Amino acid sequence: MRFGVVVFPGSNCDHDAWYAVSHNLGHPCEFIWHDSQSLGNVDAVILPGGFSYGDYLRCGAIAKFSPVMSAVRYFAAAGGMVLGICNGFQILVESGMLPGALIRNRDLKFVCRQTTLRVETTNSPFTSLATPGQLLTVPVAHGEGCYFADDQTLDELEYEDRVIVRYEDNPNGSLRNIAGIMNAGRNVMGLMPHPERACDPLVGSTDGRVILESMVANMVRAAA
């Protein structure tokens, strides 16, 4: 399966995502520059973490205007899988592809440490290989990762089973401990923690692999 990793000015986790897919999972992966009008021949797209355009306004607020985002929106509307990690999640929210907002952490401090996630649903192409309630150890690294939305939006996410993972040890004050959500079409996921940094035994955890491997499994199934 072919992955594409979008690179914005200021991205700093693009190579992490590329390495996790190409070396840890063994699937073709290519970089897609932010001013590209096309995603090329890919089966899934990753918007990586970092500080796109320096986060000089709000995180992701400038990146949403990058030419490549038109291609990402078209790809998602056609059913393509899109995973936004950390800053990628922020870009998806700013682009209107996911609901809510990501605001300053509860303690107004940058948080960089391991955290524990609980899988809330396996009815998604991002967690289909996990088990309900499975605990995943993955790192977080963000200053604006507190997920916020009004009660109606939060209730809709709960009712439609679109909260994919929650924090067991909420590091940023996210409402209802939400760490990752998906869109109504269930093919776009935003996730603040970094699964791509938990795919190799050398870094202390391979728990993040289940998310990327679930994506691969669903792409294989769709192509069969």
Active site residue 194: yes
Whole-number Å distance between alpha carbons of 57 and 117: 29
Distance CA 81, CA 78 (A): 9
Catalytic-labelled residue, pool 86, 94, 120, 144: 86
Length of the chain: 224
Tell me phi and psi for residue 122, to 5 degrees: -110, 5
Q: Active-site residue 142, yes or no?
A: no
What is the C-alpha to C-alpha distance for residues 126 and 44, in angstroms, rounded to an integer?
11
Structure tokens at 15: 């190579």
Active site residue 86: yes
Q: CA torsion 78→146→121→124, rounded to 10°?
A: 10
In the set 120, 194, 199, 213, the catalytic residue is 194
SS3 at position 100:
coil
Report the 10 Å Cβ neighbour count for 34.
18
Q: Pick the catalytic residue from 94, 120, 196, 213.
A: 196
Distance between CA 224 and CA 49 in Å, rounded?
31
Contacts of 123 (CB under 8 A, 6+ apart): 161, 186
Catalytic center residues: 86, 194, 196
